[in-house]
Structure 1
Amino acid sequence: MRHDIREGVKRYVDNDIEPNYAALSRQYDVDYRTAKKAYQEVKEGDAKPQKQKKQRPSLLDPYRDVIKAKLELNCSAMAIFKFIQKKGFQGQYTIVKTYCASIRKARTHKATIRVEHTAGLSAQVDWKEEMTLYNKENKPYHFNIFLYVLPYSKLKYLTLIFERSQDTLFNCLDDAFWHTGGVPTEIWFDNMKQVVDHSKSNFGHPVFNERFRQFSQDAGYKPIACRAFRPQTKGSVEALARTVERLRPYNYEFCDGVELINLVDNLCDELNHEVSQATNEIPQDKWLAEEKEYLHQLPDDLLKPFFEEDITRVVSKESMVIFRKCKYSVDPRYIGRTVNIELSNDEHHIQIYYNGELIRAHDITTQQFNYNEDDQINILGSDLLKGRSETDIKAYIAAHMSAYDEV
């Protein structure tokens, strides 16, 4: 029995109306007896179900979750096709296009429900990545901002950082726990490389990095990886990332890196003392009155097991050692030798030792290359300007090496 006839007579059955079979036969171009039979089958509930077609395996099967996730980001079918091709998809564009069209047609726009958070239960973490602001002298400052939010009270912790290593993440989390009065039961992260071991993870099934997992265990919280491409799962910190754009008006308005750091710190303080649109309360007050008591105590010396007390480096053939991704000079006679680096208590300086003897000290900067003047002379005298006098080398530096001050 044709499906359209069954559907046509169903409204008569639903309203308990006897149809005009002759009119139905003309409408559907069938014999009146066929129309009557359809009515009786639907009314008596004897309509035979349509036979389900056996679904054959498709080349798309391993990629359906990826395609759905990309569609949530409003990617085009062609863009998705090119993406999964690089992941090993062997099929044609037409089946990707057809599948995308079926998903878009069936998909309904789901409202994001605002959930009630529990005091002390959770925090959310993210980076505001690769921001650039210029100072009054048109010098660019490239930086990132660590973002931490307690969703219940909306208390926030922000800090400016220049690189996003796992060590930096641990330091930032430790500072966040201290500034917010303790450790929550769980913390939500996205699939950042400092947290998730991508080599062991499948799409939708993240595996935490072992060092990060141990840090989380020592700190006393449960790490949770958010679903990929679903920013709503950590909406509080995503909203904070957008709010950080309030720094943009200070472009060309600050003098140096210290003032830029102070701008970020001041923004954090402002956000914690102004009324939150989500709760209609001041985060600092709500945290103090309702949430602080539910946070777990911060463990003593949390970071100690994760950082070497003795930092050792081998001096490169450039007569440099690397510390926090920046290079610092030593005398060329130490090339190939192992040296020790000690960080000052204020974390603004490093001292470099060889066999217990201090051979060089540097201020910590974010510049790629950091040369001591004596080292610079000795490096050039041992290579490019070998055999030249110190006066000649200094003259060469003055004439040609001003770039060292810019990097």
Structure 2
Amino acid sequence: MRRDIREGVKKYMIDDIKPNYAALAKQYGCDYRTVKSAYHEALKGNTPKPKRKTSPSKLDPFKSIIDTKLSDHCTAKSIYHFIVKKGYTGSYSLVRDYCRGVKKEKIQKATVRMEYTPGLSAQVDWKEEMKLISSLGEAISFNIFLYVLPYSKKKFLTLTFDRKQDTLFKCLSDAFYHTGGVPEEIWFDNMKTVVDRSRTQFSKVQLNDRFYSFSKDAGFSPMVCRPFRPQTKGSVEALARTMDRLQVYNHEFYDSTDLIRIVDDLCEELNLEVSQSTDEIPDILWKYNEKEHLHSLKQDLLTPYFEDSIRRKVTKEAMVLFRKCRYSVDPRYIGKEVELDLSENEAHVHIYYNGERIRSHPLTTKKLNYNEKDLVQILKSDVMSHKEERDIQEHIAQSLKQYDLLEVSLDEQ
């Protein structure tokens, strides 16, 4: 029975007036018999219906065992097979649903909204294995590195194509630069690049040795969340959910370089939007209340972590990606894995294959960097295979001139 109909007929009952069933039925958009039934029910009083007797669950005798095993972080599947050996005859889904309810209840009971201190902490996570399709129909799989200062909600996002430890170090270094310093502690989940062994009831978390050395040199204390406690990193978990905003760019970008720009733009937008939790703009709160509390990064201590060779796979465009810019190689290396290294003065990026230097480029901020010899070979192998080399070089000279003009106009905007 609808509540609005019940409330409507009660007014007539209080005034001891018999209602016009047809008029009320027209008012509430129902059959007159529904109104009549509600009126007579109100006259009798709302007597609660007797509760249906519930039969005991097959799970009841085993709930204490399940609770004990859940406290040891056992999975629902392993618990199911364990209690079957002890006489349980019910389904796995019954065990699974009960385990989910217990975990959810524990998380909700233990969760308290935290007040954050400026410069004290940051939270890190990955938005893993996202996939978007370019305007050319190419499916691009990628990850988003997420970093947030929970006091000001200042954010740093960057797109990566792997989640290796070297990539994590580079992303953290970029995040420190972007946010103006290093917090006292940084919260992570149990990612393999951070943790060798997760915390259990019987043992403490064991950090990866190389990661621990990096954290000491960078000047922060690594904090690792317990399993099944996503609320511990609530700020970065909320940030991960906003990555759904990238879905609108499906089929709307040209290539991975264009996608990197979109992610960078999203980061800037999020830092200028009013945060729902603080009712402040993150960039302003960070600039005036938090930035001064972050301690400066001693970049020279982190240099050894980035001196190891960087490996990249040559794309089908005969390009390699380095610091969000692309550099060309000869097309015969397409699909090969090459090594990248910076010159001593960091003015050039050198590209090696099997220990042999195959190309050297000036380090720039231009999105596309072609060596003329590579460009000739790329065009000869594809769209201009029927042309003479002299014609190809004239085409290249004209194209590069137009591209430089485009770069200048974009920088001026």
| TM-score for both structures, normalised by structure 2 | 0.57
In structure 2, the partner of 1:280 is: 279
Residue correspondence of structure 1 range 316-395 to structure 2 within 5 A: 342-343=341-342, 350-352=350-352, 358-359=357-358
The 2-side partners of 1:114 and 1:329 are apart by: 56
Max Rg structure: 1
Once the 2 structures are TM-superposed, how far is the Cα of residue 255 of structure 1 from its aligned partner? 0.8
The 2-side partners of 1:60 and 1:110 are apart by: 16
In structure 2, the partner of 1:66 is: 73
* Paired residue secondary structure (1:245): helix
The 2-side partners of 1:280 and 1:229 are apart by: 29
| TM-score for both structures, normalised by structure 1 | 0.58
CA distance change for structure 1 residues 346 and 261 in 2, over 3 Å: closer, same or farther? farther
In structure 2, the partner of 1:152 is: 151
In structure 2, the partner of 1:295 is: 294
Once the 2 structures are TM-superposed, how far is the Cα of residue 90 of structure 1 from its aligned partner? 9.4
CA distance change for structure 1 residues 105 and 218 in 2, over 3 Å: closer, same or farther? closer
Residue correspondence of structure 1 range 5-404 to structure 2 within 5 A: 64-67=71-74, 77=76, 79-81=77-79, 91-92=85-86, 94=88, 109-110=108-109, 112-198=111-197, 202=200, 205-308=204-307, 342-343=341-342, 350-352=350-352, 358-359=357-358
The 2-side partners of 1:159 and 1:265 are apart by: 7
The 8 Å contact of residues 174 and 302 in structure 1, kept in 2 or not, is answered as: no
The 2-side partners of 1:347 and 1:235 are apart by: 41
In structure 2, the partner of 1:316 is: none
The 1-side partners of 2:102 and 2:223 are apart by: 32
The 8 Å contact of residues 217 and 302 in structure 2, kept in 1 or not, is answered as: no
CA distance change for structure 1 residues 181 and 98 in 2, over 3 Å: closer, same or farther? closer
How many residues in Structure 1 have an aligned counterpart in Structure 2?
281
The 2-side partners of 1:262 and 1:192 are apart by: 27
CA distance change for structure 1 residues 60 and 172 in 2, over 3 Å: closer, same or farther? same
In structure 2, the partner of 1:397 is: none
The 8 Å contact of residues 199 and 226 in structure 2, kept in 1 or not, is answered as: no
The percent of aligned pairs where both chains have the same amino acid is 50
The 2-side partners of 1:114 and 1:123 are apart by: 16
Deviations 1:237-260 (A, max 9, x none): 000000011010010011111110
Q: What amino acid sits opposite 1:132 in the alignment?
A: K
Deviations 1:38-97 (A, max 9, x none): xxxxxxxxxxxxxxxxxxx97996664214xx5xxxxxx5x3536x76xxx995472997
Over the aligned positions, Cα root-mean-square deviation in angstroms equals 4.3
The 2-side partners of 1:65 and 1:137 are apart by: 50
The 2-side partners of 1:154 and 1:140 are apart by: 32
CA distance change for structure 1 residues 361 and 58 in 2, over 3 Å: closer, same or farther? same
CA distance change for structure 1 residues 205 and 63 in 2, over 3 Å: closer, same or farther? farther
CA distance change for structure 1 residues 93 and 202 in 2, over 3 Å: closer, same or farther? farther
The 2-side partners of 1:117 and 1:208 are apart by: 25
Gaps of 5+ in 1: 1-56, 71-76, 313-321, 333-338, 366-370, 375-407
CA distance change for structure 1 residues 192 and 340 in 2, over 3 Å: closer, same or farther? closer
In structure 2, the partner of 1:404 is: none
Q: What amino acid sits opposite 1:121 in the alignment?
A: L
Mean CA deviation greater in 112-121 or 213-222: 112-121
Once the 2 structures are TM-superposed, how far is the Cα of residue 212 of structure 1 from its aligned partner? 0.4
The 2-side partners of 1:268 and 1:186 are apart by: 22
* Paired residue secondary structure (1:214): helix
